[in-house]
Structure 1
């Protein structure tokens, strides 16, 4: 069985408040004339204390107030949450009523006895619980009310010597502990986020390194034979070899600049366009980053159809972030000494599958 810190602290709180509420030596006092009021005061104290310990708050409201951080022990689901207002009001009412009821139920000469002054420590414990449940202002008001009642019934100095100082110190220490644990929780959360960001950055760098290695290998596979031949001949290539070098350069540029646009069909039509003498430029500037493999297949198939029928002397294929357009294909040729656009095609950005299904259902 795994014990959670909250469960252990709650059990300790219940045991301590139960000891303060019903463990005091009531038989030593003279409560016979006011036993009902005294019993009601004890019951009110126990009810307020245990409600303050156990009565929770809906997680949605806690998050809406900005008091939850799932990574922190003191601010997350396993730590103390904001005490509901009505429970805080009940605890404050208990602090204002119970001490006076108990002191009024005994003789004036016996009001400094343990069976009459137990309320000082009891209210202090209750206010410490209220602080832990994130109601420090309510707890401070409760300590002030306890001080006023103590000064009225037994005097300020006797109250201080009989536990009022300890109750105030409990409440203040509880607030200091909450501040320190919340700060530690926040710093732990920030550290976790920084570690996660560092891990993601390292993973992205490793991915980019692998991508660069793959691109270099492809470039070497495409241009390696031509480079070897060029080195072997000292750059003295014949017309056929120069044509092969031009085609190899084009293929290498395509692999480096627009790899996501390429499949076997697109590579084939690009090669055919270059073989007939066209100057082809492929440039991917991020317009396809949000597409999955199915959407890329649709774009590549349409691009291959467009290029298969293109007769332009210069062809520019470019992607860029756009709401509706995935790829723009522009072809230019010279006619009668004029440079004219004889090809313009925009390939639409495919809809995600979920949007396609919803659009189909709407029709």
Structure 2
């Protein structure tokens, strides 16, 4: 069975405040004469303490993980499993209780009995309440409450009696609670940072594995395309007959296409590129990132239009290039020599597919 940290902390807070609010010797004569006032004081203390423990705002703010600059941070004890920000009005009520409860309690007993346990229980009780306020992330209110408790103790019974009867413990509890919250918040930020680093490392390893797999596929394709020609070339010592030289030229073109513009290729595009080279055209395919972010559906649209353009091309030199652009996916340029001059006889821009087609 897994215990919820919030339930554990709340149970401890209720038990401790109940002990401090009801465990003092209320039956002694010095306070039994003012039982109605004392009951009201105890009721106010317990009600305020338990409200500060259990009250939750309707909309709990979501803390953003700290990025390491010290400007913010996620709270390891926050959210559904731990304390959240105490509403300002509840923190103000706790501060008012820190002022009212000791004053009323000391005022309701004789001056000679103000250092008795039934009159000084409020010192520890208010200290516990300020610890709750600190844990609920209102340290400023808690500091003011401790200062108010100190001032009241000095005015009613003196500094040394106040220190010896529980003020030191209350101050230490409050300070330790704040240090604990700082420590847990820092641990939470470091845990979040470690998780981000681990996620980044996992993503990097996955990308490297993908690149290695891609390189293996390209090597396999290169061997499938150029392997037979290279084997024949080595066997013939480079002395190939004309038809085998033509096969080697076509194989080189196919290999360059696979390495430089694989995202542009499908069976139809490969076929028209092969046909263009077989009629003597010099074809260059170069993918420089113009198709990044385009899905498979969009690629099919681009490839189909590219195949149609190349099917009707009669240029001597054809350049097919993609580059990052807002609207253009592929640019096809054809050049030929006419009357001794190099002219552009083909210019076709293939638009990026619509967002719905990507």
Q: TM-score range by the shorter chain?
A: over 0.9
Instruction: Identify which of 115, 118, 121 aligns with 2:121.
Output: 118
Map of 2:186 onto structure 1? 183
Map of 1:286 onto structure 2? 289
Q: Which runs of 5+ in 2 are unaligned?
A: 67-71
1:5-16 equivalence runs, <5 A:
5-16=5-16
- Residue 31 of structure 1 deviates from its aligned partner by 3.5
1:88 equivalenced with 2:65 (yes/no): no
**Maintained 8 Å contact 1:125/1:167:** yes
Map of 1:215 onto structure 2? 218
Map of 1:152 onto structure 2? 155
1:245 equivalenced with 2:248 (yes/no): yes
Map of 1:309 onto structure 2? 312
Map of 1:49 onto structure 2? 49
Instruction: Identify which of 155, 162, 168 aligns with 2:165.
Output: 162
**Maintained 8 Å contact 1:29/1:115:** no
Deviations 1:70-125 (A, max 9, x none): xx523454232222111111111111111101111111121111111111001101
In the alignment, the residues of structure 1 paired with residue 41 and residue 299 of structure 2 have an alpha-carbon distance, to the nearest angstrom, of 74
TM-score w.r.t. structure 2 length?
Answer: 0.94
**Greater CA drift, 218-227 or 340-349:** 340-349
Instruction: Identify which of 314, 330, 341 aligns with 1:327.
Output: 330
**Maintained 8 Å contact 2:31/2:118:** no
- Residue 61 of structure 1 deviates from its aligned partner by 3.0
1:194 equivalenced with 2:197 (yes/no): yes
Map of 1:358 onto structure 2? none
In the alignment, the residues of structure 2 paired with residue 336 and residue 97 of structure 1 have an alpha-carbon distance, to the nearest angstrom, of 105
Classify 1:198/1:281 alpha carbon distance in 2 versus 1 (closer, same or farther; 3 Å): same
**Maintained 8 Å contact 2:288/2:323:** yes
In the alignment, the residues of structure 1 paired with residue 262 and residue 145 of structure 2 have an alpha-carbon distance, to the nearest angstrom, of 70
Map of 1:261 onto structure 2? 264
Q: Which runs of 5+ in 1 are unaligned?
A: 356-363
In the alignment, the residues of structure 2 paired with residue 301 and residue 76 of structure 1 have an alpha-carbon distance, to the nearest angstrom, of 53
Map of 1:17 onto structure 2? 17
RMSD: 1.9
In the alignment, the residues of structure 1 paired with residue 44 and residue 94 of structure 2 have an alpha-carbon distance, to the nearest angstrom, of 9
1:37 equivalenced with 2:40 (yes/no): no
- Residue 330 of structure 1 deviates from its aligned partner by 1.2
- Residue 354 of structure 1 deviates from its aligned partner by 8.3
Map of 1:2 onto structure 2? 2
Classify 1:246/1:162 alpha carbon distance in 2 versus 1 (closer, same or farther; 3 Å): same
1:277 equivalenced with 2:280 (yes/no): yes
In the alignment, the residues of structure 2 paired with residue 299 and residue 277 of structure 1 have an alpha-carbon distance, to the nearest angstrom, of 25
In the alignment, the residues of structure 2 paired with residue 341 and residue 181 of structure 1 have an alpha-carbon distance, to the nearest angstrom, of 69
TM-score w.r.t. structure 1 length?
Answer: 0.92
Map of 1:236 onto structure 2? 239
In the alignment, the residues of structure 2 paired with residue 177 and residue 342 of structure 1 have an alpha-carbon distance, to the nearest angstrom, of 76
Classify 1:14/1:354 alpha carbon distance in 2 versus 1 (closer, same or farther; 3 Å): farther
Deviation above 4 Å: which 4+ runs of structure 1? 64-68
**Maintained 8 Å contact 2:85/2:136:** yes
Instruction: Identify which of 329, 338, 344 aligns with 1:341.
Output: 344
- Residue 315 of structure 1 deviates from its aligned partner by 1.1
**Greater CA drift, 326-335 or 256-265:** 326-335
Q: How many residues align?
A: 353
Map of 1:360 onto structure 2? none
In the alignment, the residues of structure 2 paired with residue 84 and residue 229 of structure 1 have an alpha-carbon distance, to the nearest angstrom, of 83
- Residue 134 of structure 1 deviates from its aligned partner by 1.4
In the alignment, the residues of structure 2 paired with residue 142 and residue 208 of structure 1 have an alpha-carbon distance, to the nearest angstrom, of 61
